[in-house]
Chains A and B, each alone.
Chain A
Amino acid sequence: MSSWLDYTINGLIVGNVYALVAVGLALIFGVSRLINFAQGSIYLVGAYIGWVAVVQLHTPLPLTIIVVAVAAALVGLIIERFGLRPLQNSVRIAPLLATIGISFVLDQLVMLTFSPNPRALPSQLPDIRFQIGGGTIGPLDLLIAGVGLTSALLLFVFLRYSKLGWAVRATAQDRDAAMQMGVDVNRVNQAVFGIAAALGGVSGLLVGMYYNQIDTAMSLQATLKGVVAEVVGGAGNVPGAVIGSLLLGLVESYGVAVFGTSYRNLFAFLLLVVVLVLRPNGLFASARQAPPEPLTGTFIAPSRPVRIPRWALLIATAVFAILPLLPVSFYVLQTLINAWLLGMLALSLTLVAGTIGQVSLGHAALLAIGAYTSALLSLTFAVPVGLAIIGGGLMSAALGTALISPSFRLRGHYVSIATLAIGEIVSLVILNWESVTRGPIGISGIPPLSLFGYELVSPISIYWFSFIVMVVLALLQGRLLGSHLGRSFRAIRDDDIAARAYGLSLNRYKSLAFIFGGFAAGVSGGIAAHLYSYINHETFNTQQSILALTVVILGGLGNVVGAILGAVALVGLPEVFRIAAEYRILIYGIVLLLLVRFRPQGLLGTM
């Protein structure tokens, strides 16, 4: 049994590591109002470069740290120059999506180079521990604290006494005014990306040594923790990010002490949601801080959608409807079934992210809620599968809307952060609520699809079932968009201040969109549960949320036909080209990057 002092030391050390990530996020947010979702990937890259240096090149510790910092800084500079600078004049969602795409690409490249299996990253310090008070502290703890303090000091000196540091601060406070003083904003961006990446990379190295292990799952975790710490401290506030990080480290450490390890992340995300809801500008925000997002909806690229004639849609529907009667392989049907399930999720997301402008990064949680509800209803209460799936849809609609509703007053990036956190919370609750969800074991033996007592086991019947459900949902959504309600949704997206001035109740409309969207996603998850027959807390993960986002951007945000087309394309094309599974995520990341850069309105245009 460790002492409280040990938990405190552990909390502060982990907090130090988070601070190295969060400070970089804060610097970047300060100068470009961007949450850099690739920050965790740089941390991952730092950890693996450290592994190469330590294990293969046998570099001494100080050199290891320098190598990692320089290499990571280079990665940061490349991201800024080639990933983000070309997007300077794009809509505000573009750089955010680009960092998500970059993060996928970097993570996959690391995974392909080093394999997904964890590796041991040996600490280069002697394994001894000193007694202090009732606890112990080791050389690595001291190293991490030292690196944290040194970085903070260097950063302070840089910002306070160097010319470039002044430029960074001036740009963070007023970009246009800084330019009018002759500040080259590109150089400022370069500087902050380089610094943020160096700090993030070193952080990855230290964490790897601390836990003596590195693996590719570190990336998303680091981004999430860094974002939590940064938002808690106030987006863009550098000292705030440090304090937020230490606070987060302590909250987690004490939480683990009281409730156990599997609750660690739950505390982080609950803290985030509480801060977002109560103090979206962070715990230390000064009263006169500018709102962190523009007040009107420049988040979605305006475009003229491609008009597809009704007869063409009818023909396409008919072709897909009779497809199983043609001599096509089981494999083709299976692929299309996956596309229809993804299509339902995309319908949901395109409504929420496109039509009403709430870019959700946690949409897989709605799948999970629908899947678990439907599985448990049919298994535990013997509810017929057809009804159970509808129950799953209703539960997703209700629970999803209830969970997101505290965040309705957030905008832009903040919605994305909140939905990401809520998605993680759902998956952590599933993991920890063992009496209902069976925890990490998951649910097996879920009954197969059936309708009115007939089991749908043949691929053809499953195909038709999922296709018909998707078409019905799409038709409903099409009707919805054409109605007065749809116009109100778009009005809110385009300018919620004006929409409010016209007397539209934002909360009511956002709820309606999430209810409809939650239902579609829940139904998709429900069907999936009965197809897979086994689900656990990782079946529906952030990767799927991002895949769904890529699908709807590919199709055109808000575009119903586009969502389905995007799903068919992203599920189908890798099959057509026989792309191995491990390269798919990489391809999705690249597709997202290319779309953002060259065709932000998607294939069929935003609506």
Chain B
Amino acid sequence: MTNPPPDALLTLTDVNTFYGQAQVHFDLSISVPRGHIVCLLGGNASGKSTTMKIILGLVKPRSGEVTFDGASLLGLTTPQIVRRGIASVPEARRLFADMSVRENILMGAFVRNDREAIAQDLDKMLTLFPKLGQRLSQRAGSLSGGEQQMVAMARALMSRPRMIVMDEPTMGLSPLYVDRVLELIRTINQEGVSVFMVEQNASLALEIAHEAYVLQTGKIVLSGSARALKDDPRIRDAYLGGSEAA
């Protein structure tokens, strides 16, 4: 048992997760300090997306504890967790393909009822993501991958979250969009939103993260400040090991 630091916004403590018989997480412990960007690195099938699902309550662990702002999330349903202030950018974006871009972004504000403020926030999103302005009435499914990523991020921000969890936000994007997305994550963070992101691309993620964890077949094998990890020779090894195991 490691005690989470007192300023942690989100903590996972000794989490063990199973799909049927197969164990995916082994005593997983992660903490996201308030105002930080924390990155979870790992190869394919190491259990990264499952960690996201645990945080969001889409999958429940067999044992362990998950807290947000000091209160346990384990007894809550996904919508309840979202209402506590956690927004998500899911793996492969998962937009509502047959709804318009405007409707997608506004779906992000589903938990809010302040109509005027929502309208203002929508305008704010259009300044943050200027390209979306011309696409508002287009079907979300018809956008390019990079544009979809922008919509997914705008959608997440619309709930005015205290924390955003993102699953591989740069996956499948061209280098230009990757830079843009990383820049945006930093901007979002500077506005006070804590970020927990899952990534396969360590060098990219360590650019912007404060802390990072390395997950290998369900176990944390390495963790520390991003600066320290960037120079750690083991990070490459852990990586390659993770991908080979997949």
Contact = CB atoms under 8 A, between A and B. Distances in A.
B139 to A, nearest CB: 10
A178 B87 CA distance: 12
B77 A166 contact: no
Contact of B110 (A166, A174, A176, A288): A166
Contact of A180 (B90, B99, B103): B90
B111 A182 contact: yes
A170 B155 CA distance: 13
Interface stretch (B78-86, B127-135, B229-237): B78-86
Given A166-B110, A170-B99, A170-B107, A182 B159 contact: yes
Interface in A156-211: 163, 166-167, 169-170, 173-174, 176-185
Interface residues of A, number: 18
B82 A181 contact: yes
A173 B99 contact: yes
A181 B107 contact: yes
| A contact patch SS | helix
Interface residues of B, number: 25
A169 B94 contact: no
A67 B93 CA distance: 44
B90 A177 contact: yes
Interface string B45-70: 00000000000101000000000000
Given A163-B110, A166-B107, A182 B79 contact: yes
A184 B82 CA distance: 11
Contacts of A163: 110
> Which of B95, B99, B107 counts the most chain A CB atoms within 10 A?
B107
Given A176-B58, A176-B90, A181 B99 contact: no
B56 A180 contact: yes
B26 interface: no
B110 A181 contact: yes
Interface string B183-205: 00000000000000000000000
Contact of A174 (B79, B94, B159): B94
Contact of B96 (A170, A179, A184, A185): A170
> Which of A163, A167, A177 counts the most chain B CB atoms within 10 A?
A177
Given A166-B103, A177-B90, A182 B96 contact: no
B141 interface: yes
> Which of A167, A178, A179 counts the most chain B CB atoms within 10 A?
A179
A160 to B, nearest CB: 9
Contacts of A174: 94-97
A178 B77 CA distance: 13
Contact of A183 (B94, B95, B110, B155): B110
B50 to A, nearest CB: 13
A181 B105 CA distance: 10
Contacts of B94: 174, 176-177, 180
Contacts of A288: 97, 141
A64 B83 CA distance: 41
B16 interface: no
B90 A182 contact: no
B78 A180 contact: yes
A169 B83 contact: no
A190 to B, nearest CB: 14
> Which of A163, A174, A182 counts the most chain B CB atoms within 10 A?
A182
Contacts of A180: 56, 58, 78, 82, 87-88, 90, 94
B207 interface: no
B218 interface: no
Nearest to A174: B94
Interface in A122-176: 163, 166-167, 169-170, 173-174, 176
A257 B88 CA distance: 57
B167 to A, nearest CB: 11
B80 to A, nearest CB: 8
B97 A179 contact: no
Given A176-B90, A183-B110, 8 more contacts: A166-B106, A167-B110, A169-B96, A177-B90, A179-B79, A181-B159, A183-B79, A184-B79
- Interface pairs A-B: 10 shortest CB-CB: A182-B111, A182-B82, A177-B94, A179-B78, A173-B96, A181-B110, A182-B79, A180-B88, A184-B79, A182-B110
